[in-house]
Amino acid sequence: RRPEATLAVGVLVFLALAAGALGYRSSGFGGATNPPAGSDAAAGNAALAKHFPQSSSNPANLVLAYRPPVWTHPAQIASAQASLRTSDKFTSLAGPLNPNGTVIAPTMLARLHRELGPPQRLPVVEPAGARIPALLYNAYRSTASYVSPDGRTIQFEATLTAGAQNTTAAMNATPQIRSVVATAAARSGARANGVAGEAAAVYDISTTANNDLVKIIPVAVAAIAL
């Protein structure tokens, strides 16, 4: 009987409900999945948390690429590592100069490469006649996880001060972490750099989705209105 009033009230009610979308912010990680108490998986997770840094299971990967192999210019690694450490954005940082907890000096890294060759090709047991201390041999072998076979790309595995990789805080910190890595790349002469990992990946997905929503929602509203 009163279509104008019905339309006006309906529009006001639905506009009020739709206003909630203006405050939408991406988040909503599922969180870590916990295995059943007393299971082997639970015991393994407990041992991992006790004896290894958080970055060992779900790190942020800070990647830098250089033109000359870092084996011949190991000072570049030291420069990048120093820049990253002074940023206060990481609670732990593992890389080519401390791959398994043992510190390797830049000059020693170059020497080990000259004497032993690429770390990816080394056997688990030190070859006879190598005459390298076992601790140093194992540390150099571990650099295979941080330096590419051609020596031109390296990575650091980091734990963020903002939080674990599966948290919204870590996701929101991605722009700052990328800025820190870009600074380290510039100071050490890297030709390219990037940040990978769960938080960075979800940040990119969320950013793309949010940008698309700004375009999709008005189109959908116009289509529905028509």
67 contacts: CB under 8 Å, gap ≥ 6: 152, 191
Condensed to tens digits (0 to 9), the pLDDT of residues 47-83 reads 877 777 655 678 999 999 999 999 999 999 999 999 9
Q: Quick one: residue 163, left, alpha or beta (phi over 0 = left, psi -120 to 50 = alpha)? A: left
Measured CA to CA, the distance from residue 183 to residue 27 in angstroms comes to 27
Task: State residue 54's pLDDT score.
Answer: 56
Any idea what the Cα angle at residue 67 is, between residues 111 and 186, rounded to 5°? Answer: 100
Identify whether the C-beta of residue 169 lies closer than 8 Å to the C-beta of residue 60: no
Task: State residue 74's pLDDT score.
Answer: 94
Measured CA to CA, the distance from residue 25 to residue 111 in angstroms comes to 51
Mean pLDDT computed over every residue of the chain: 90
Any idea what the Cα angle at residue 102 is, between residues 98 and 107, rounded to 5°? Answer: 65
Task: State residue 27's pLDDT score.
Answer: 62
Condensed to tens digits (0 to 9), the pLDDT of residues 105-129 reads 999 999 999 999 999 999 998 888 8
Helix or strand run (H / E) with residue 92: strand 90-94
Q: Which of the four pLDDT bands, split at 50, 70 and 90, describes residue 26?
A: low
- pLDDT > 70? residue 96: yes
Once rounded to an integer, what is the mean pLDDT over residues 180-199?
96
Give the burial string for 71-103 (b: 16+ CB within 10 Å, else e): bebbebbbbbbebbeebebbeebbbbbbbeeee
Condensed to tens digits (0 to 9), the pLDDT of residues 3-14 reads 999 999 999 999
Measured CA to CA, the distance from residue 158 to residue 57 in angstroms comes to 11
Measured CA to CA, the distance from residue 219 to residue 183 in angstroms comes to 40
Any idea what the Cα angle at residue 59 is, between residues 55 and 64, rounded to 5°? Answer: 115
